[in-house]
Amino acid sequence: MNRQYDDKKYPLQDESYEIIGICMEVHRILGKGFLEIVYKDALEYEFRVNGIPYEREKLYQIPYKEIILRHEFYADFVVYDDIILEVKAQKGIVDEHYKWVLNYLAISKCQLGLIVNFGEDSLKTKRVIS
């Protein structure tokens, strides 16, 4: 798959297309109604069998002035070293999710965030670009 896109406006398009395709497969098989952890387990399986590089629950520390804060955050997944994948299993994607992913992108220096919500009849996805 080698589509032509403006990489600055739509970074990592092919990679995000592949990830969303995997999410759609997981949703097709499992449907809605499970806890997030179940979808994360299925995604991890799919990433592994498809040879997609990922880290699950990747730890990021938060710098503040000259210190590192005691509390950190964990990205649900970092895929292809540059995509934060935030997994939800609830009704709707809300503004708070966008804010979280924007903060995650700032701390992680990743280029792209994907929010995927398995909690509805069809998979919902949103792209967040830093």
CA distances from 47 to 17, 44, 60, 66, 100 (A): 13, 5, 21, 37, 23
Domain-located, residue 125: yes
Give the pLDDT confidence score for residue 116 in this predicted structure. 96
Domain-located, residue 7: no
pLDDT tens, residue order, the chain (130 aa)? 444 444 556 778 899 999 999 999 999 999 999 999 999 999 999 999 999 999 999 999 999 999 999 999 899 999 999 999 999 999 888 888 888 899 999 999 999 999 999 999 999 999 998 7
Domain-located, residue 90: yes
Q: Residue 115: which of 31, 25, 55, 36 has the closest Cα? A: 36
Domain-located, residue 5: no
Q: What is the CATH number of the domain that holds 68?
A: 3.90.320.10
- How many domains is the chain built from? 1
Domain-located, residue 4: no
Domain-located, residue 106: yes
Domain ranges, residue 36:
13-129
Domain-located, residue 24: yes
Domain-located, residue 3: no
